[in-house]
Amino acid sequence: MKDTTTIAAIATPLGNGAISIVRMSGDNALSIAAKLFKTSSLKDFNDAAPKQAYYGTFKNGKISDKCVAVYFKAPNSYTGENMVEFQCHGGVRLTSEVLRSLVDFGARPATKGEYTKRAFLNGKMTLADAEGVVDMINAESIAGLEASYRLMNGDIARTIDSIQDEIIDLISGLEASLDYPEELEEDVKRNGVDVIKNVHIELKNLLTSAKFGRYIKNGINVAIIGIPNIGKSSLLNALLKRDRAIVTDIAGTTRDTLEEKYEVEGIILNLIDTAGIRKRTDDIIEEIGVKKAVKVAKQADLVILLLDSTRAMNEEEKHLIETYSDKRLLKVYNKCDQGIHPSISKDDNIFISALTGEGIDALTKHIVDIFLDNHLDNTGNIITSERHVDAISRALDSIKSCNYSIEDAPIECTLVDLRNAYSSLGEITGKTASEDIIDRVFARFCVGK
């Protein structure tokens, strides 16, 4: 069970400032922090002294940041509850990853005004301040859930709507079979297996896209990799439609990574040209470049592996595909103006010529499509979307449990999960189940004496 009493939020304005503050409030603030933050001055951050700044490392999987953490013990904190503040390096991406880590470990993204509300409820504010809180929350209620919902990308809104629709259709069928066992002739349970599988896939996709949504504001990092002299820098120039990188036919010309922003259909692509990757190099500077290229590619959202269309893939290139098997990887064949080797399938590969510009627009469109197809939430409201991600993953958990229960447990048990899934999504759309279910039962089934 997720702990709902501990909340987390980014306290400083979003943007690329030097320092950002992420804070947490609630019973488990300290224990969640201790799981993620290590400092050399303490064995365990659970033993932290209140109001003291600790320098250490915030680490969760790939994210790692040197930062300062301060623990405030209830009631001597802003909210009057246990609080932990992380002063980490600025930058939207890092800050929101820190927030997401706290959520992964049991905190809930705070709603607007929740800190102030808690502060007031715990007697930390005066009456005059409280009036302000009422106004603020009220302002939110007018803009409210629905407004932020409408502001969301139309695709996401429609997808969640239609998922909720599928769920409630199934709920109403199952409910009808419980309330009208003698009258309902349709086999509603059998069809449920398929519906649940569908919804499961849809929610998973949604979650993936929601995660991508977080990157949108800062751009999608696209790393171009390949063995030396395959035309990576030419591709960068072709995509940018100007000469940014130095292009020669000497292998290993690019020694450092080059990064360029490039906007297409409202989406920012951070194109990263890397040094050609080869196993052995005598040049120390080139070797550093290669190492950096590997690292950059590992962190990118999308990796373009550039290949030569006039020959079959070599061992080194096959190795690269394996190295990046956990990444979203696009195989692009350069030099298509010089012909296509018979071993290369024309169907699922992309062919370009960085030299003539052939296929470049198609490649750009392809990259954008990969992300647009995932219904990117490009409104960029990271806190809101953090809450949405949270709601969607809870819905997904409930649906996962349905996968099992629809086969093996009684209908009323599956309904517990289905209703939980519906109400989790309802936190985004504002739609609640109660009357909807009854309405559907009678709209869809001929039941009643």
Binding site for other proteins (CB under 8 A): 1, 4, 117, 120-121, 123, 127, 130, 133-135, 137-138, 140-142, 144-145, 175, 178-183, 408-413, 416-417, 419-420, 434-435, 437-438, 441-442, 446-449
Residue closer to other proteins (CB basis): 127 or 284 = 127
Separation between Cα atoms, residue 49 and residue 86, nearest integer Å = 15
Residue closer to other proteins (CB basis): 33 or 402 = 402
The nearest distance, CB 179 to other proteins, in angstroms, is: 5
Residue closer to other proteins (CB basis): 23 or 117 = 117
Residue closer to other proteins (CB basis): 52 or 138 = 138
The nearest distance, CB 421 to other proteins, in angstroms, is: 12
Separation between Cα atoms, residue 238 and residue 244, nearest integer Å = 9
The nearest distance, CB 191 to other proteins, in angstroms, is: 17
Question: Burial code of 237-276, b = ≥16 C-beta within 10 A, e = fewer?
Answer: bbbbeeebbebeeeebbbbebbbbebeeeebbbbbbbbbb
CA angle 266, 269, 273 (to 5 degrees): 160
The nearest distance, CB 1 to other proteins, in angstroms, is: 6
The nearest distance, CB 389 to other proteins, in angstroms, is: 19
434: number of Cβ within 10 Å: 9
**Alpha-carbon radius of gyration of the chain:** 26
The nearest distance, CB 202 to other proteins, in angstroms, is: 22
3-state secondary structure of 334: strand
Residue closer to other proteins (CB basis): 333 or 445 = 445
CA angle 382, 388, 391 (to 5 degrees): 145
Pure H helices in 300-359 = 315-323
The nearest distance, CB 96 to other proteins, in angstroms, is: 24
Residue closer to other proteins (CB basis): 225 or 437 = 437
Residue closer to other proteins (CB basis): 130 or 368 = 130
Separation between Cα atoms, residue 424 and residue 174, nearest integer Å = 19
Burial class (CB in 10 A: 0-12, 13-18, 19+), 4: exposed
The amino acid that residue 397 corresponds to is D
3-state secondary structure of 290: helix
Sheet holding 108-109, edge to edge: 37-39, 53-60, 63-72, 83-89, 19-25, 7-10, 108-109
The nearest distance, CB 7 to other proteins, in angstroms, is: 14
Residue closer to other proteins (CB basis): 141 or 248 = 141
